[in-house]
Structure 1
């Protein structure tokens, strides 16, 4: 049994890598991805020049595949959890999504108000964070429901990440206790981003001269993190769909279930 599972994993990895490389090859050459199942078959170069270009492009694709494969696996994991949200959101709709988020955050706000011991300031912090989370979740649902891969990647995922990242930052403006943690960690993250991301591309000095990390700048900073992070998650899910279509996984699961029934 263990050997069969190991062989299955190896076969799955081999198929993923093959699809990624075939997709890379298809950027320049026709009939590369899955062409072995077509009547015409896989296109192969016939002239010496085409053969040289084919080999060079194939060799260039090897490091690209090595970089993309871990991202594709991340996309499979993100897709797994996002499908759970998709299934729930489809059943309850926009009103249900807003209601669920309102109940969850409203309950937290009520607990803080009644038993938290944080006073009026703590209550306002959680209340504002709750409103931020509910609004961001609603926007994420609206853009997801609108349909289309571009809209989902460009808008739905960023607002979904915003619903997770922004509430603590907003709450920090109303609570010194929360602010001591959030603002301190935000400054540390900003230093890392300036030195590791923006300095190599020559933008560190410009950002330091134009922006001061105070007040509302913290909100802009985290929104600026949430948006590209949402794009990244949307792109890795797209990569997962391209490399390992959901239909294949569903077929494998149903095939496995049938085999176990037998």
Structure 2
């Protein structure tokens, strides 16, 4: 990560490049970057069209660039995790996850009631499997596999353990499960309430037991895809160096 001045300079370069690409969609500007910066079309009508198109581009870029910045941050975190995995090895990473959760399960065996132990044990299995599947799909260095599978399993590794634990822990369940029910109701009413889809889901499915796990895994898929698409957007705006692994 660079200094504040370096980041501001990089943002300025991005904005100039994006605006230039937007103008090139309609206007035949000079190919030289410096000549293109001061270029304006000849004729009043063309100049008016140029300024209107430029204003539209400024608004569009201003609205979308925050998502680009988020994509940069996600890509940076992914690179850091790649380096950690490359340095330690995936078996070590999965082993550490399993060891941590296994240690918690061992502590729960002596210190928690049966329900608490089952909660920690179930969460450990979910977290370990999700981390392993995330790496398995990401290791192919395929952008499609990484987007479609790796990111959702990475998100599932965060979402599913507490939800799974809540099914067996009354204390955790009073916090996680009612919130999940409220979120599901909001999604059905505001997102899936199209062509009777919400009514069909309510009629065929009961949000109870492991249906909560299915719900959160279902949410992990679009959230993972959204994170992956943000990284792709960042790659379009500022491509990665060829020496870096594709993510």
Pick the TM interval, shorter chain. 0.7 to 0.9
- 1:94–1:142 CA contact under 8 A, matched in 2: no
For 1:143 and 1:152, how far apart are their aligned partners in 2? 6
Inter-CA distance 45–155: structure 2 relative to 1 (3 Å threshold)? farther
Pick from 17, 20, 25: which aligns with 2:18? 20
RMSD of equivalent CA atoms: 3.6
Aligned residue for 1:198, secondary structure, equals: coil
Equivalent residue number for residue 229 of structure 2: 235
Matched, 1:102 2:98: yes
Deviation at 1:82, TM superposition (A): 1.6
Equivalent residue number for residue 140 of structure 1: 134
For 1:211 and 1:58, how far apart are their aligned partners in 2? 50
Equivalent residue number for residue 166 of structure 1: 160
- 2:67–2:230 CA contact under 8 A, matched in 1: yes
For 2:167 and 2:218, how far apart are their aligned partners in 1? 18
- 2:167–2:210 CA contact under 8 A, matched in 1: no
Deviation at 1:118, TM superposition (A): 1.8
Inter-CA distance 79–6: structure 2 relative to 1 (3 Å threshold)? closer
Inter-CA distance 169–24: structure 2 relative to 1 (3 Å threshold)? farther
Inter-CA distance 193–11: structure 2 relative to 1 (3 Å threshold)? same
5+ residue gaps in structure 1?
251-262
After TM superposition, the structure 1 stretch with the greater mean CA deviation from structure 2, 86-95 or 222-231, is 86-95
Q: Give the alignment's TM-score, normalised by structure 1.
A: 0.75
After TM superposition, the structure 1 stretch with the greater mean CA deviation from structure 2, 206-215 or 140-149, is 206-215
For 1:203 and 1:60, how far apart are their aligned partners in 2? 37
Compare relative contact order (CA 8 Å, sep 6+) and give the higher one, 1 or 2: 2
Query: What CA deviation, in whole Å up to 9, does each residue of 1:187-216 have, x standing for no partner?
Result: 121122223323378643343333332223
For 1:51 and 1:150, how far apart are their aligned partners in 2? 42
After TM superposition, the structure 1 stretch with the greater mean CA deviation from structure 2, 123-132 or 100-109, is 100-109
Q: Give the alignment's TM-score, normalised by structure 2.
A: 0.79
- 2:119–2:166 CA contact under 8 A, matched in 1: yes
> Number of paired residues?
239
5+ residue gaps in structure 2?
none
For 1:209 and 1:215, how far apart are their aligned partners in 2? 17
Pick from 43, 63, 67: which aligns with 1:71? 67
- 2:155–2:220 CA contact under 8 A, matched in 1: yes
Matched, 1:181 2:175: yes
Equivalent residue number for residue 107 of structure 2: 111
- 1:109–1:127 CA contact under 8 A, matched in 2: yes
